[in-house]
Structure 1
């Protein structure tokens, strides 16, 4: 879709402005499965939204791509698509370009540019028409003026019916770190010209001293103390990006929705699949409250804010669509039936004991149990290889309960036990497998074996089950 709507040009000047973002230390490479095209398409299909197709040519833009691990993983799986990544750090862009070359990924364009500078982005991106625009994390770390520039960029370059994925620190969970983060920034400013990694470690030592000394903020909020202890063991480079940006901010979902509404983008759901299923992601005692809110006609901003309170949400993965387009009932059913699924290795470890009647899922609201009678038929069917939704829907457990399978598959995918995949020709599946293996080898050679092992291969051969 829209593959000829724009041209790509390399920014001729590497920007050096760093007053709004940490650039002196590398942002560690991470993989976020929720950013993969197949995942987004499956989430949106589950929600009944007409998502841009990922089995044909499509276009993809990532804002704040870092060294582009997520983008490269997507590009390896979708050779027919075009992927563009923008980041302020020349170091990360050069690293990503080197990995792309080493992996033979010709459908990648990585550009060092400042998303807060409309002139620079206009030189880099001409025309309009990206089917997907994604950004993870940076929205919470940049200055208000840069966030507004991001809104305008998405409004200008997202194609009609295109989808924007936005992950950001949210109220109320992340807001509990606000005072801690402010002290860390003040301490980092005191340390002057030392590296951000050194500054964040010194700042954490100060905060931990306060916590261990019984500072009331942590005494009154035991969960915050546990989070601080967890953070203290994390990588300094990551923590510098997470906590030392002067414009760090936890956002209210209603504010983000309002900002996106100004660019004709409507909230359509979460890329955290289980959060679209109230029965599994909200406390049982609150189900009646949310049902009442819906019957009272309260809008998405009201309901999502209440959900954030119910879950003590600290990170949101929002999905917005330009000129949101729900699927008709018939089209929704057809797209669901066409979905393809495979069993993942983690499902074996999830199998309960012989006398168990349920599988427990750890969630933000505590353990949630899935009846084994609902889950086991899917596991059993997928043991022999990939299956379509249509095939699974004919199993006795689901034939008389057609509304059960869709949320169940979304939940099992979120748990990491199954995956939505594409069924393609044998030759195309083999081509994708080689591309993914080459990227995995590139990342492993860079000392990122754990990251390489997380890069999925999302194509299977139509000639046989695998």
Structure 2
């Protein structure tokens, strides 16, 4: 295959159909606000850009669920063709092209953007492309605009970095099959055999064998794109800061709300040490050593404005929040860099129950805070950070933006539910309330399809789903085993439909997904 257009990027198989909330402008603005930084307000005239959109799931959900217009590129034409189908279904009028970053930079018809985002792109493109990306941001990001970038980083990747090199070298020089998945399998087997021969390097990195075992369980298409590209530039945080400096970008914070909660990430000595580091860039780089950071999700701003404590509090109090899962399914544990931690149930459960009141309708933090008058503000702020970081709660966009997005979200969700007839590629639907994607597995999408077609009872949804599966010769897997009889499959679907109607459907209604 010629690599004239793909610049060494692995294009033999398509990328996975993932959704990434960090690209959602609503979520990005909340992350900035949580760290005390001013956030641009959404409006009809806003413009957003995504560089390297993969299968286009995130960009299309966001284009449907947010006001304004989207421009995005992915130089794989198969990805662009798929993404355009989704855009046509929603009616978002997003401009989705299959141009390289350099070709996009050369266009003279692009607007100034309120946000430019790239997720999982930076590591897998060349240093020359890093310069093109920085120049694109310099030319096209508005003052006050948001730039999101995620990438593999040191020091966390240091011990396992040689594994990627082994994969790439075997793919380049070894005797490899023609099929993409087979090439991945061959490289994995080669690496397993090498480690089994007990090289001295294992003495310096004894965890490498377990790391390889973990990698071997992952989706082969994902592994192809993660490890088998010609370019693989793992960098330190400060190196990326330097690379983006010509675009006048100020590092603001991470797009991970849990990073704002030191108690679950840093031991006391680490917290004490970092408090003594004045420079924010040095402090953040030092923090990566304490948490052994392997993957960063960074937000930059072109001209960051810090809010006063009082301003930040008022903006947070005016923000609406909504549950993204049934209240009784929100775990009372959270995982940070220090491991798993238990949440204080007498604080968290009443807050979750307050969010679940009135059929899970969204509520401002001001309204919620009124029910916890004795709670100190830092505690309330931490509860919000933890629950949003866990994904159990989501910030909402203004009601005017929500209303403007409803029709597009409804159209996109209908299209995705129709696709669920044939497979489980995309297991997310669009929420006009949060401006982002909500996890909805395949069978639940089929239940929604049955409901939209006039079937009112869960038993009818189950029958509808079973008729669809049976016609395609498909069977449900339960506890790792296929259910063979019609009675077993229908019974399982009926149970799932009943639980969906009772637990999940009210939440999806509150989110505006249905």
Taking structure 2 as the reference length, what is the TM-score of the superposition?
Answer: 0.78
| Residue number in structure 1 paired with 2:382 | 407
Q: Secondary structure at the match of 2:282?
A: helix
Superposed counterparts of 1:263-342, under 5 Å: 263-293=247-277, 297=278, 299-342=279-322
- Higher alpha-carbon Rg: 2
- Could you report, residue by residue, the CA deviation over 1:191-226 in whole angstroms, capped at 9, with x for unpaired residues? 478244332221111112223343444454344332
| Residue number in structure 2 paired with 1:20 | 8
- Could you report, residue by residue, the CA deviation over 1:78-136 in whole angstroms, capped at 9, with x for unpaired residues? 2x3211111111111111112222x2333311111111x2xx22444535411111101
Distance 1:430 1:25, change over 3 A: closer
Distance 1:156 1:433, change over 3 A: closer
| Residue number in structure 2 paired with 1:4 | none
Distance 1:152 1:418, change over 3 A: same
**Structure 2 CA distance, aligned partners of 1:196 and 1:300?**
43
Query: Post-superposition shift, 1:316?
Result: 0.2
Match of 2:114 among 128, 131, 151: 131
Q: Secondary structure at the match of 1:313?
A: coil
**Structure 2 CA distance, aligned partners of 1:228 and 1:89?**
29
Matched, 1:434 2:410: yes
| Residue number in structure 2 paired with 1:238 | 222
Contact kept, 8 Å, 2:155 with 2:294, in 1: the verdict is: yes
**Structure 2 CA distance, aligned partners of 1:392 and 1:163?**
29
| Residue number in structure 2 paired with 1:90 | 77
**Structure 2 CA distance, aligned partners of 1:196 and 1:275?**
37
| Residue number in structure 1 paired with 2:136 | 153
Superposed counterparts of 1:220-231, under 5 Å: 220-231=204-215
Contact kept, 8 Å, 1:128 with 1:159, in 2: the verdict is: no
Structure 2 gap ranges (5+)? 436-508
**Structure 1 CA distance, aligned partners of 2:6 and 2:385?**
40
Match of 2:99 among 104, 108, 113: 113
Bigger mean CA offset, 60-69 vs 174-183 = 174-183
**Structure 2 CA distance, aligned partners of 1:161 and 1:390?**
26
**Structure 1 CA distance, aligned partners of 2:510 and 2:215?**
43
- Aligned pairs, number: 431
Distance 1:321 1:364, change over 3 A: same
Matched, 1:70 2:58: yes
Contact kept, 8 Å, 1:433 with 1:459, in 2: the verdict is: no
Contact kept, 8 Å, 1:188 with 1:196, in 2: the verdict is: no
**Structure 1 CA distance, aligned partners of 2:412 and 2:321?**
19
**Structure 2 CA distance, aligned partners of 1:17 and 1:376?**
53
**Structure 2 CA distance, aligned partners of 1:53 and 1:342?**
19
Distance 1:407 1:323, change over 3 A: same
Q: Secondary structure at the match of 1:230?
A: helix
Contact kept, 8 Å, 1:59 with 1:129, in 2: the verdict is: yes
Distance 1:346 1:303, change over 3 A: farther
Contact kept, 8 Å, 1:168 with 1:317, in 2: the verdict is: yes
Contact kept, 8 Å, 2:51 with 2:116, in 1: the verdict is: yes
Contact kept, 8 Å, 2:22 with 2:255, in 1: the verdict is: yes
Distance 1:197 1:456, change over 3 A: farther
Structure 1 gap ranges (5+)? 1-14, 352-358
Distance 1:400 1:182, change over 3 A: closer
Bigger mean CA offset, 212-221 vs 232-241 = 212-221
| Residue number in structure 2 paired with 1:143 | 126
Distance 1:408 1:25, change over 3 A: same
Match of 1:99 among 53, 75, 86: 86
**Structure 1 CA distance, aligned partners of 2:269 and 2:58?**
38
Query: Post-superposition shift, 1:454?
Result: 5.8
**Structure 2 CA distance, aligned partners of 1:150 and 1:77?**
26
Contact kept, 8 Å, 2:92 with 2:408, in 1: the verdict is: no
Query: Post-superposition shift, 1:24?
Result: 2.2
Distance 1:225 1:368, change over 3 A: same
Query: Post-superposition shift, 1:409?
Result: 0.5
**Structure 2 CA distance, aligned partners of 1:330 and 1:236?**
49
| Residue number in structure 1 paired with 2:440 | none
Query: Post-superposition shift, 1:341?
Result: 1.0
